[in-house]
Amino acid sequence: MSLRPILETRAAQPTMEGAGVHLHRAFGFQDPSELDPFLLFDDFRNDHPELYQQGFPWHPHRGIETITYVLEGSVEHGDSLGNTGTLGAGDVQWMTAGSGILHQEMPSGNQKGQMHGFQLWGNLPGSQKMCAPRYQDVQGKDIPEVIDDDGTRVKVIVGEFWGKRGPVDGIAADPQYLDVYVPAGVKKTFKIDTYRRAFAYVFDGQAAFADASRPTGVLLEKEVAGQEVNIRDMSGDRTLVRFGTGDEITVQAGPEGVRFLLISGAPIEEPVAWHGPIVMNTQAELQKAFAELRNGTFIRPAH
C-alpha cells in the first residue's frame, strides 16, 4: 500500500454566480489537468436568503456532467426538455448535459433560512460530449450509508465502498463520491484506486491528512484528542486537499470530528476547450456550440 502525497491545500474562495448567488469555489477555470476528470467545485452555503434566492436562471451546458448534492434547504430545477423537480436535503442530482441542455436551478432555504449544497462539474470524453442529455435524481433515503465500529460514517453517493454501491451509475469518469464523517480523534485510512485523481473537501470540523511527501522526522506534531500524531497541519472548514498518486489516504479527525467529501475519478487526458458552461475538445467545437446558441439550434431533438 502507498500513501498519497498532498500536492496542495487550498481554501475555497468567495465568488458570485448565477443572478448573484454568493458561494465559495474550491477550484474551477484554472488548469483543467489538475483534477482531471473534474473541472469545478462550488460550495453554496449561506444563512441569508438575499444572498442566494436569485438563484441560477436559465443557462446552457454542453460536454459536461453536473453533480448537485444538497445538505440543507432545497433546489427547484427545470430544463428545456420539460423536466422539473425539487432536490431536498440529502438529495443528489447527476445531470449529463451531453449534446446540450438549457436549465435553471433556484435554491430555497430551510425553516431557518439556511441553504447548503455543492456542485461538481465532471468532464465528458470527446466520444460522449454529444450524447443525449440524461438526469439521475436520487433521494437521500436511497443513498447507502456504512457505519464502522469506531463511529466513522460514509455515505456512498457514487461508486463502491466498503461493500456498498452508490445509486448513481453509468458515469464516464468512473467516479467515487463519498460523504465521510470521522469522529473526534479517530485516525482512519481510506483506499482509493491508484489510477484515480483524488481530492478531499473539508466542510465541517477539522482534520489532519497524512502526507507521504514529507519524511516522518519533519512532519508537524499535533495533539488531537490527547494523542500526538505525526501528520501535517489541520485542514478546516472550506478547505480543498489535493492528493498525488497512491492507493490510500490517512486522516485524523480534530477535537470535534470532521466531515468531508472524498472524490476521485479516472482522468480523461484529452484537450479541453472551455468557456463558461460549455466544455469541448477544440476551439472550433466551442465556437460551433456558441453559434448554435445564437441561432437557436443548440438543443438537439430527442430520438
281 part of a folded domain: no
* Rounded-to-integer distance, Cα 36 and Cα 50, Å: 34
| Residues 117, 265, 298, 79, CA torsion sign | negative
296 part of a folded domain: no
Once rounded to an integer, what is the mean pLDDT over residues 231-247? 85
Cβ–Cβ under 8 Å, residues 105 and 135 = no
| Residues 204, 180, 153, 73, CA torsion sign | positive
Once rounded to an integer, what is the mean pLDDT over residues 37-59? 96
292 part of a folded domain: no
In which band, very low, low, confident or very high, does the pLDDT at 233 lie, cut at 50, 70 and 90? low
291 part of a folded domain: no
Show the domain range for 237: 6-265
Which region among 4-18, 67-81, 168-182 has the lowest average model confidence (pLDDT)?
Answer: 168-182
In the chain, how many domains are there? 1
pLDDT for res 230:
42
**Cis peptide upstream of residue 37 (ω within 30 degrees of 0):** yes
Once rounded to an integer, what is the mean pLDDT over residues 128-153? 95
In which band, very low, low, confident or very high, does the pLDDT at 227 lie, cut at 50, 70 and 90? very low
pLDDT for res 221:
37
Once rounded to an integer, what is the mean pLDDT over residues 193-215? 90
> Does the pLDDT of residue 232 top 70, yes or no?
no
Which region among 68-77, 116-125, 167-176 has the lowest average model confidence (pLDDT)?
Answer: 167-176
276 part of a folded domain: no
- Residue type, position 101, single letter: I
300 part of a folded domain: no
Once rounded to an integer, what is the mean pLDDT over residues 206-215? 83
For residue 87, give Cα distances in angstroms to 56, 92, 141, 156, 280.
Answer: 14, 7, 12, 18, 28
pTM (predicted TM-score): 0.92
280 part of a folded domain: no
pLDDT for res 236:
81
Q: What is the CATH number of the domain that holds 124?
A: 2.60.120.10
